[in-house]
Amino acid sequence: MALPAPGLTLQDLLDVNRLLYFERGASMPEINALRFPMTNLRGKHEKHVHGATLIKIDVDEVPLKGRSFGSLRGKYPNVYDRAIAVLEKYDCWDKVSESVRTFLKKADPRYLPPTEEEIKQRPFYPFRVSGPEYMLEGAKEKAISMGLNTAIFVSSLNDIETRPVAETFAQIAKEVELMGRPLEPPCVLIFGGELVVMVGNATGIGGRNQEFVISAAERIAGSKNIVIASADCDGTDGPSDNAGGIVDGYTMERIAEAGIDISRELNNHNTSYVLKTLGDTINSTRGANVRDLRVIYISNKID
């Protein structure tokens, strides 16, 4: 899937992804605007089948009822114009390699997505076998079976900086704990999607799920009733070797006892170190990507 188009290298792809997604916090649709034309195969399966029957069995990370391509596609119908616009938006045009700029300006039609006419030239049977809604509904059914009031709050919470989102939902958890709204405890709030962590030049190891729970921990410190977990369903969160983490109202106290400077580690986006020190990482086997699962549990009030 990551085979570079002629004239490009794998390092070109790595550099573009690092610069846009990690350093600048670009959204996944914006990243894909570069990744799709810069690779031979991604998004172009139909072009490589050459008359044979194509059977596509797909695990889709986009909810079936939530598919949207945003304003980029409408404003820039041409794939190459779209890619250049993203680089210019994040002031990266002069920061990518000359080979990337040359490739995008050349606008070779061979690396465009297939047209509707090209798709119709051969038998094509696409099967969508899973997506985020399967994961979220599965979590909801499990919580209900445990006797908990349960709601899926957001299926696709995407492309927003992680820390303010975590702080906001920690505040919602406190509202549930103190006021019993919008759900009555014991209850579970469920969220899906993929957030963003803009790391700049930070050198820490972490990921959006680990950043989410550590950021939320500061807001629920002292609570005896709230537990927050977040994990990437494909088994790895960022460049770390775990899927996510779990925190509660005692986490900040334990961080202090461990001698960890939480402000420094958060600013360095070194959340994996914090959670590993506490023994509060979530580890799982590798799986298909249907984005992340975030769960907030609020128990009956403990005096």
Per-residue model confidence as pLDDT tens digits over 109-167: 888 877 777 777 778 888 999 899 999 999 999 999 999 999 999 988 998 999 999 99
Mean pLDDT over the full length of the chain: 90
* pLDDT tens sequence across 87-105: 999 999 999 999 999 999 9
**Residue ranges covered by each domain of the chain:** 10-130, 132-298
Which of 40-44, 78-82, 222-226, 235-239 tops mean pLDDT? 222-226
pTM > 0.75: yes or no = yes
Q: Which CATH number fits domain 132-298: 3.40.50.300, 1.10.10.10, 3.40.1480.10, 1.10.1520.10?
A: 3.40.1480.10
The per-residue pLDDT for 64 is: 64
d(CA 230, CA 189): 12
More confident residue, 115 or 252: 252
Q: Residue 16 pLDDT more than 80? A: yes
Contact 104, 123 (CB under 8 A): no
Residues paired with residue 149 on neighbouring β-strands, in sequence order: 187
d(CA 291, CA 293): 7
Q: Can you give the three-state secondary structure of the chain, one letter per residue? A: CCCECCCCCHHHHHHHHHHHHHHCCCCHHHHHHHHHHHECCCCCHHHHCCCCCEEEEEECCCCCCCCCCHHHHHHCCCHHHHHHHHHHHCCCCCCCCHHHHHHHHHCCHHHCCCCHHHHCCCCEEEEEEECHHHHHHHHHHHHHHCCCEEEEEECCCCCCEHHHHHHHHHHHHHHHHHHCCCCCCCEEEEEEECCECCCCCCCCCCCHHHHHHHHHHHHCCCCCCEEEEEEECCCCCCCCCCCEEEEECCHHHHHHHCCCCHHHHHHCCCHHHHHHHHCCEECCCCCCCCCEEEEEEECCCCC
Phi, psi of 59 (to 5 degrees): -100, 115
Q: Residue 12 pLDDT more than 60? A: yes
d(CA 212, CA 162): 6
At 191, the pLDDT band (50, 70, 90 cuts) reads very high
Q: Residue 238 pLDDT more than 90? A: no
What percentage of the chain exceeds 90 in pLDDT? 65
Assign domain 10-130 to a CATH class: alpha beta
Q: Residue 72 pLDDT more than 70? A: no
